């Protein structure tokens, strides 16, 4: 059974960079069958897709965040990461990593990691 | 962006009774609808979201058959035919017809 687990700092200062990692077990991230993505949920708000990326290929990103987002991979550790630069309080959210099928729905999610942006 | 609007925001249903959740999609900038490019997810407190249904009506492997999905134009429905205690959760829809993928705001299902 595939499992995903987010990890990273729970507190980030405004204007700094948010970095989260998603550890994957039960499947290899080095596959063309799936891409790997990030979704977030701000307090009291709905879910917002951030972006998704194939390990060896194309990615797609939410235009509202694209200029600040990077998704990268570490195949040796079977994990992928999110980097969001120049954060503000509006980036405070529960961040989920997930596996995205080639049809573009998400078939497995991590439990989420809360990140607060505050000085 | 395509806006997904769920209704109701919450509902309370007696055990064994039917629960129905609706999700309506706006049209894309080109005027087209999302077809059947819709998924439903279940999220229990403190847990990861779980895929229930994709392509509007296809149940994910292992999902009980009391969960079903349907579509009529831009209106999508998730039905729990006989609510069980373990079905207490927040349910949300997602369109994957055109980027950015967007989600409904969620519907909380409780026991009456």
- Structure tokens belonging to residue A32: 């063309």
Query: What is the spatial distance between Cα A61 and Cα B101, in angstroms, rounded to a whole number?
Result: 9
Handedness of CA A81, A58, A29, A92 (dihedral sign): positive
pLDDT band at B34 (very low <50, low <70, confident <90, very high): confident
Provide mean pLDDT across the span A69-85: 96
Residue B106: band (very low, low, confident or very high) from pLDDT cuts 50, 70, 90: very high
A29-51 average pLDDT score: 93
**Are A60 and B99 in contact (CB < 8 Å)?**
yes
Is residue B18 pLDDT above 90, yes or no? yes
Report the distance separating Cα A98 and Cα A35, nearest Å: 9
- Write down the mean pLDDT value for chain A: 95
For residue B8, cis peptide bond before it (omega within 30 degrees of 0): yes
| Inter-residue contact B25 to B34 (CB < 8 Å) | yes
Residues of B in contact with A110 (CB under 8 A): 48
Cα dihedral B109→B77→A93→B26 (10° resolution):
-140
Chain A CB contacts of B102 under 8 Å are 49
Stretch A80-87: mean pLDDT: 98
Find out whether B112 and B22 touch, Cβ atoms under 8 Å: no
Instruction: Say how far apart CA A27 and CA A40 lie, in whole Å.
Output: 23
Contact A55, A75 (CB under 8 A): yes
**Which residues 30-59 of A have a C-beta within 8 angstroms of B?**
39, 46-49
């Amino acid at each position: 059974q595939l499992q995903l687990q987010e990890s990273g700092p729970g507190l980030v200062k405004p204007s700094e960079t948010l970095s989260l990692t998603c550890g994957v077990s039960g499947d290899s991230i080095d596959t063309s069958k799936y891409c790997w993505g990030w979704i977030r949920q701000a307090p009291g708000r709905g879910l917002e897709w951030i972006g998704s990326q194939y390990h060896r290929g194309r990615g797609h990103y939410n235009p509202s965040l694209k200029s600040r987002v990077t998704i990268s991979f570490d195949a040796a550790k079977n994990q992928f990461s999110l980097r969001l630069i120049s954060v503000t309080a509006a980036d405070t959210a529960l961040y989920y990593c997930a596996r995205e099928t080639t049809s573009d729905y998400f078939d497995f999610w991590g439990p989420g990691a809360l990140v607060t942006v505050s000085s | 962006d395509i806006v997904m609007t769920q209704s109701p925001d919450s509902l309370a249903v007696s055990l064994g009774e039917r629960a129905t959740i609706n999700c309506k999609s706006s049209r894309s900038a080109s005027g087209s609808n999302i077809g059947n490019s819709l998924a439903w997810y279940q999220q229990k407190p403190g847990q990861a979201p779980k895929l229930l249904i994709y392509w509007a009506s296809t149940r994910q492997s292992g999902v009980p058959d009391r969960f079903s999905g349907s579509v009529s134009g831009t209106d999508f429905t998730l039905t729990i035919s006989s609510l069980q205690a373990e079905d207490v959760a927040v349910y949300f829809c997602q369109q994957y017809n055109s980027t950015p993928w967007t989600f409904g705001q969620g519907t909380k299902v409780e026991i009456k």
